[in-house]
Chain A
Amino acid sequence: MKSLAIALAVIFILCGILSILHPLAANEMTRALGFSSDKAHAKHPFLYFVLAVLSLIWLRFQSAAPAR
């Protein structure tokens, strides 16, 4: 579960960065990830960074849990 939490955090941070970069340099990869419009969206980076923070909080809970 720890590795899943880390993987999700990394994915969401990358998506957040891509969603900021997409309006600056739109390309096929970012369009494939769902950023269809080339105008700047505040909501997409916000969503991805919130999800990344939640993944890190999940990691915190996993790290503090006693090993079974």
Chain B
Amino acid sequence: MVLAVLQGVSELFPISSLGHTVLIPPLLHWHVDESDESFLAFVVVLHLGTALALLAYYRNEWVRIVRALVGSIVRGRFNGDRDERLGWLLVVGTIPVGIMGVLFQSSVRGLFASPIPVAIFLMINGLVMFAGEELRRRQRARSERVAKPIEKVTWVEGLGVGFAQSLALLPGISRSGASIVAGLLIDLDHEEAANYSFLLATPVILLAGLLEIPTLFKPGVTIGPVEAILGCVVAGVTAYASVAFLTRYFQHNDLRPFGWYCLLAGAAAVILFSTKVVA
């Protein structure tokens, strides 16, 4: 259940859920075998819970987006509608992470999924958030640009946010952190960038969960239906509360507190693991 809460919070907060999944168990002396089929199956359930929470939170947006997408395919042309534009930007932004995830996920995680590289990437994640905030401040100061609405985002910019999101394949780099920073750099405000990031994450998390469902039925998986449903519900409720908090938070605040957290947590983890205080 602690893992379910951790997943629900860290998947949406810009602090890297995967990084925390690698760092927290050894820090707390949990004996978790992350290659164990039962553990992987439980992670699938938690992802499904998170994705369902995102779908529930943005249910009205998704209904409008899907309707607008189907309408534009039937017509064979765009009509400039906000939901239609947002829908196609989400499609374009999902392509890079889809391709890179399917082709490179296993090899990248195999290379970097040990505590010290993950802790270093967590620090880089913090620095990226600081750099994003600073670049945005300079852009604003130099050209007095104002935040633009999502329907003004170009296809290339949408693709760029998608590529930024795919950096989250590196354990320690946050999916939402990278895509919010990319959103800020294309002149979205914090609230719009966060909403866009969460909408962009929904199909990725949902599809990643759905495509891994066969894992639940592999021989040797010892997770019972009660544990699975409970894990899914706890992760879902926590994720729903997280997205509700973050969308309000980003109305008036920025990424720097998360940047400090990642920088300090990453530095502490590097020290603890490299000095063998934690095995």
Residues of A within 8 A of B (CB): 34, 42-44, 46-47, 50-51, 54, 57, 60-61, 63-65
B77 to A, closest residue via Cβ: A64
Q: Which residues of B sit under 8 angstroms from A57, Cβ to Cβ? A: 73
Task: Assess whether B102 is interfacial by the CB under 8 Å rule.
Answer: yes
Q: Which residues of A sit under 8 angstroms from B95, Cβ to Cβ? A: 51, 54
Task: Assess whether B103 is interfacial by the CB under 8 Å rule.
Answer: yes
Q: Which residues of B sit under 8 angstroms from A46, Cβ to Cβ? A: 102, 211
Q: Which residues of B sit under 8 angstroms from A44, Cβ to Cβ? A: 102
A54-B91, A54-B95 given as contacts; is B77 within 8 A of A47 (CB)? no
Q: Please provide the chain B residues from 125 to 176 with a CB less than 8 Å away from any CB of chain A in the complex.
A: none
Task: Assess whether B117 is interfacial by the CB under 8 Å rule.
Answer: no
Verify A50–B75 contact, CB threshold 8 A. Answer: no
Complex partner residue of B211 from A34, A43, A63, A65, CB under 8 angstroms? A43
A47-B98, A47-B99 given as contacts; is B211 within 8 A of A60 (CB)? no
How far, in whole Å, are A47 and B105 apart by their CA atoms in the complex?
13
Consensus secondary structure, chain A interface = helix
- The count of chain B contact residues (Cβ–Cβ below 8 Å) is 13
Which of B77, B95, B102, B211 lies at the interface centre, i.e. has the most chain A CB atoms within 10 A of its CB?
B102
Verify B98–A64 contact, CB threshold 8 A. Answer: no
Verify A64–B102 contact, CB threshold 8 A. Answer: no
Q: Please provide the chain B residues from 72 to 95 with a CB less than 8 Å away from any CB of chain A in the complex.
A: 73, 75-78, 91, 95
How far, in whole Å, are A4 and B73 apart by their CA atoms in the complex?
18
Verify B77–A61 contact, CB threshold 8 A. Answer: yes
Complex partner residue of A34 from B75, B78, B98, B103, CB under 8 angstroms? B103
How far, in whole Å, are A64 and B76 apart by their CA atoms in the complex?
5
Q: Which residues of B sit under 8 angstroms from A54, Cβ to Cβ? A: 91, 95
Q: Which residues of A sit under 8 angstroms from B225, Cβ to Cβ? A: none
Interchain Cβ contacts under 8 Å between A and B, 23 examples: A34-B103, A42-B211, A42-B214, A43-B102, A43-B211, A46-B102, A46-B211, A47-B99, A47-B102, A50-B98, A51-B95, A51-B99, A54-B95, A57-B73, A60-B73, A60-B76, A61-B76, A61-B77, A64-B75, A64-B76, A64-B77, A65-B76, A65-B77
A64 to chain B, nearest CB (A): 3
A34-B103, A50-B98 given as contacts; is B91 within 8 A of A63 (CB)? no
Q: Which residues of B sit under 8 angstroms from A51, Cβ to Cβ? A: 95, 99
A9 to chain B, nearest CB (A): 14
